[in-house]
Amino acid sequence: MCGGKDNDEPIPPPHPIELPDRANPPSTSHRPQTSSQRQPRPPTSNSQRVSSSARPPKTSDGSRRKSSHGDHRARDQAGSSLRRPSKTSDGSRRKSSHGGDHRARHRIPEVEEHTEDKTIIRRLNVLSTFIEQHAENFFPRNGPSSEETEEFDDPHTRHANIRQYLVQTIISCTVTRNGNSSSDRLAIVREIFDYLASYSNANDEQRENHLLELCRLGSRLRDAIENHSSRWTFDFSSAEGYIVMVPALMRDGEEVVPSQMFRIN
187-200 confidence digits (pLDDT tens): 999 999 999 998 98
Determine, yes or no, domain membership for 223. Answer: yes
Distance CA 146, CA 204 (A): 18
What pLDDT, on a 0 to 100 scale, did the predictor assign at position 3? 47
pTM: 0.57
98-127 confidence digits (pLDDT tens): 555 555 555 665 555 667 999 999 999 999
Determine, yes or no, domain membership for 218. Answer: yes
Torsion of CA 224, 171, 122, 231, to 10 degrees: -50
Name the CA radius of gyration of the chain, rounded.
56
241 vs 11 pLDDT, higher one: 241
Determine, yes or no, domain membership for 211. Answer: yes
- Say whether pLDDT at 226 is over 70: yes
Q: What are phi and psi of 36, to 5 degrees?
A: -75, -25
- Say whether pLDDT at 206 is over 90: yes
Determine, yes or no, domain membership for 127. Answer: yes
Determine, yes or no, domain membership for 156. Answer: yes
Determine, yes or no, domain membership for 219. Answer: yes
What domain count does the chain have? Answer: 1
What pLDDT, on a 0 to 100 scale, did the predictor assign at position 71? 55
134-165 confidence digits (pLDDT tens): 999 999 888 777 766 778 888 899 999 999 99
Determine, yes or no, domain membership for 37. Answer: no
Determine, yes or no, domain membership for 174. Answer: yes
Q: How far is CA 207 from the centre of its chain?
A: 44
Buried b vs exposed e over 192-224: b needs ≥16 C-beta within 10 Å?
Answer: beeebebbbeeeeeebeebbeebbebbbbbbbb
Enclosing domain of residue 185: 117-231
227 vs 48 pLDDT, higher one: 227
